[in-house]
Chain A
Amino acid sequence: EAGVTQFPSHSVIEKGQTVTLRCDPISGHDNLYWYRRVMGKEIKFLLHFVKESKQDESGMPNNRFLAERTGGTYSTLKVQPAELEDSGVYFCASSQGVGSYEQYFGPGTRLTVT
């Protein structure tokens, strides 16, 4: 069974540019999460999808971040326009269904905004 995959593994962009991160969850997992770890800080929750619906987006920092989950499969996280403080590692995780708390994480995308 393939794990959670994320693309790209690294991205370096200039302030003001747009970046789109992609996450492919484990097949059949209804829950998809985005997290972020900025330098020296703990992993922070961004949002949670159940299938194609946003269940909880309380962790999204501001309206420069837009997450989508097309057809309840893969998800994208777009940052537009990127700011320096958006640099960090963005993790995606998935879990199976309702009441499923064991999350499977992807390897992360390291975003550097210069």
Chain B
Amino acid sequence: SQKIEQNSEALNIQEGKTATLTCNYTNYSPAYLQWYRQDPGRGPVFLLLIRENEKEKRKERLKVTFDTTLKQSLFHITASQPADSATYLCALDPLPYGQNFVFGPGTRLSVLP
């Protein structure tokens, strides 16, 4: 069956360290994968999109990798700050190049001062 898993429900790290979040998928062949941030009581906020032919994408302190062989994306936040504490969601297109998105369950990241 088709499935998206994110490494853990919650992740605690110390301020200044690098947070690494994992998104694994099964029985999908996405053309692209997205990462969103969601704060309590708010809608998801788009962070990064990476396409199947891209290995890595960066934006400021954020880095995303996409390995279509392993069917995995890694999301890194370097020099993490307490303000980075939020739930992070990965999403992919179940039909390649479609605009219908499937979301993972999310990982709740807490950056401790």
Contact A43 B89 (CB under 8 A): yes
Decide if B79 is an interface residue (CB 8 Å cutoff).
Answer: no
A103 touches B103 (CB 8 A): no
Query: Which residues of chain A in 1-57 are interfacial with respect to chain B, using CB atoms and an 8 Å cutoff?
Result: 4, 31, 33, 35, 41-45, 48, 55-56
Q: What separation, in Å, do the CA atoms of A33 and B103 have in the docked complex?
A: 14
Q: Which of B73-91 contact A (CB under 8 A)?
A: 89
- The B57-113 residues at the A interface (CB cut-off 8 A) are 89, 93, 97-106
**Set A4, A59, A102, A105: member contacting B100, Cβ < 8 A:** A59
Distance in Å: Cβ of B66 to nearest Cβ of chain A: 14
| Total count of chain A residues near the partner, CB < 8 A | 26
Are A101 and B43 within 8 A (Cβ)? no
Asked, given contacts A42-B106, A43-B44, A107-B43, whether A101 binds B32 with beta carbons under 8 Å apart, the answer is yes
**Contact yes or no, A42 B104, CB < 8 A:** yes
**C-alpha gap A45/B92 in the complex (Å):** 11
Question: Which residues of B28-52 are within 8 A (CB) of A?
Answer: 32, 34, 36, 41-46, 49
When chains A and B are docked, how far (Å) is the Cα of A106 from the Cα of B101?
16
Interface range on chain B: under 10, 10 to 19, 20 to 34, or 35 or more?
A: 20 to 34
Complex Cα distance A103/B105, Å?
18
With both chains docked as a complex, state the minimum distance between the C-beta of B93 and any C-beta of chain A, in angstroms. 8
Within 8 A of B (CB), among A68-100: 91, 93, 95, 99
Task: Find the A residue at minimum CB distance from B89.
Answer: A43
Contact between B103 and A93 (Cβ–Cβ < 8 Å)? no
Q: Is the CB of B46 within 8 A of A103?
A: yes
- Which A residues are closer than 8 A to B by beta carbons? 4, 31, 33, 35, 41-45, 48, 55-56, 58-59, 91, 93, 95, 99, 101-108
6 closest A-B pairs (Cβ-Cβ)?
A105-B43, A43-B103, A42-B105, A105-B44, A42-B103, A102-B46
Q: Given A91-B44, A101-B93, 19 other A-B contacts at CB below 8 A?
A: A33-B99, A42-B105, A42-B106, A43-B103, A45-B102, A48-B99, A55-B99, A56-B99, A59-B100, A95-B99, A99-B97, A101-B34, A101-B99, A102-B34, A103-B101, A104-B46, A105-B36, A108-B42, A108-B43
